[in-house]
Structure 1
Amino acid sequence: MSKQLVLMDHDGGVDDYLATMLLMTMDDVQPLGIVVTPADCYVQPGVSATRKILDLMGRSEVPVAESTVRGINPFPRLFRRDSFVVDHLPILNERETIQTPLVPESGQKFMVRSLQTAPSPVTLMVTGPLTTVATALDMAPEIEGKIEKIVWMGGALNVPGNVSRDIEPGQDGSAEWNVYWDPISANRVWQTSIPIVLCPLDLTNNVPVTSEVVCQLGKQRRYPISDLAGQCYALVIPQDYYCWDILATAYLAHPEFYEVREEETTIVTTGISQGRTKVEPSGRKIRVMQKVDKERFYDYILQQWAR
Structure 2
Amino acid sequence: MIPLVVDTDPGVDDAYAIALAARAPEADLRAVTAVFGNVDLPTTTTNARRLLGMLGRGDVPLGVGADRPLVHPVTQRAADVHGDDGLGGVAERFGPLGPEPAGRALDVVAGVLETSSEPVVLAAIGPLTDVALLLATRPDLTGRIGRLVVMGGSVGIGGNVSAAAEFNVWSDPEAARRVLVEERVPTTLVPLDLTHVVTVDRSWLEALAASGPLGEALAATRHVYGHGEALRVDRVPIHDAVALLEAVVPGTLATVPLELEVDTSLGPSRGLVLADRRGRAPGGHTVDVAVPDGTDVDGVRAALLRRLSGDMPVRPRG
TM-score by length of 2: 0.84
Match for 2:190: what amino acid? Answer: C
Displacement after TM superposition at 1:20 (Å): 0.2
1:287 aligns with 2:288: yes
Structural mapping, 1:133-144, within 5 Å: 133-144=131-142
Deviations 1:188-227 (A, max 9, x none): 1221110110101111111223222222223x24x12211
Cα distance change on mapping 1:49 and 1:109 into 2, 3 Å: same
Displacement after TM superposition at 1:81 (Å): 6.5
- The aligned counterpart of 1:302 is 305
Cα distance change on mapping 1:184 and 1:90 into 2, 3 Å: closer
Q: Of residues 256, 261, 277 in structure 2, which corresponds to 1:261?
A: 256
User: Equivalents in 2 of 1:135, 1:69: separation in Å?
Assistant: 12
Cα distance change on mapping 1:199 and 1:136 into 2, 3 Å: same
Cα distance change on mapping 1:80 and 1:257 into 2, 3 Å: closer
Deviations 1:71-92 (A, max 9, x none): 2334336348636263854432
Cα distance change on mapping 1:272 and 1:99 into 2, 3 Å: closer
Deviations 1:175-197 (A, max 9, x none): 11111111111111221110110
Deviations 1:93-127 (A, max 9, x none): 5x5xx342411x22123222322232222111011
Cα distance change on mapping 1:69 and 1:43 into 2, 3 Å: closer
Cα distance change on mapping 1:78 and 1:89 into 2, 3 Å: closer
Q: Of residues 91, 108, 122 in structure 1, which corresponds to 2:93?
A: 91
SS in 2 for 1:284: coil
Kept in 2, the 8 Å contact 1:52–1:100? The answer is no
Kept in 1, the 8 Å contact 2:16–2:238? The answer is no
The unaligned stretches of length 5 or more in structure 2 are 229-235, 311-318
- The aligned counterpart of 1:18 is 16
- The aligned counterpart of 2:227 is 239
User: Equivalents in 1 of 2:82, 2:259: separation in Å?
Assistant: 36
Match for 2:290: what amino acid? Answer: M
User: Equivalents in 2 of 1:26, 1:35: separation in Å?
Assistant: 18
How many residues get paired? 290
Kept in 2, the 8 Å contact 1:10–1:127? The answer is yes
- The aligned counterpart of 2:99 is 100
Match for 2:288: what amino acid? Answer: R
Match for 2:204: what amino acid? Answer: V
SS in 2 for 1:272: coil
Displacement after TM superposition at 1:228 (Å): 1.5
Cα distance change on mapping 1:37 and 1:264 into 2, 3 Å: same
Displacement after TM superposition at 1:35 (Å): 0.5
Structural mapping, 1:124-135, within 5 Å: 124-135=122-133
User: Equivalents in 2 of 1:78, 1:122: separation in Å?
Assistant: 32
- The aligned counterpart of 2:2 is 4
Moved more, 127-136 or 268-277: 268-277
Identity of aligned residues (%): 24
Displacement after TM superposition at 1:162 (Å): 1.3
- The aligned counterpart of 1:75 is 76
Displacement after TM superposition at 1:140 (Å): 1.6
SS in 2 for 1:152: strand
SS in 2 for 1:142: helix
Kept in 2, the 8 Å contact 1:109–1:136? The answer is no
Displacement after TM superposition at 1:28 (Å): 2.0
The unaligned stretches of length 5 or more in structure 1 are 165-172
